[in-house]
Amino acid sequence: MRPKQLQKMIVDALKDAKAQDMTVLDVRKISDFTDTMIIVSGTSTRHVQSVADKLVRTLRAHGVRATGVEGEKVGEWVLVDFGEVVVHVMRPQTRDFYNLEKLWSDAKPVAIK
Q: 2 near 11, Cβ under 8 Å?
A: no
Give the Cα separation of 14 and 36 in Å (integer). 15
Is residue 1's pLDDT more than 80? Answer: no
pLDDT of residue 2: 82
Cα–Cα distance for residue pair 99/25, rounded to 1 Å: 13
Give the Cα separation of 96 and 90 in Å (integer). Answer: 9
Domain 3-109, CATH among 3.30.70.360, 3.30.1200.10, 3.40.50.2300, 3.30.460.10: 3.30.460.10
Residues 18/50, Cβ–Cβ less than 8 Å: no
Q: Could you report the per-residue pLDDT of 23-37, keeping only the tens digit for each?
A: 999 999 999 999 999
Domains of the chain, residue spans: 3-109
Q: Which residue type sits at 62?
A: H
What pLDDT, on the 0 to 100 scale, is given for residue 42? 98
Give mean pLDDT, residues 43-57.
98
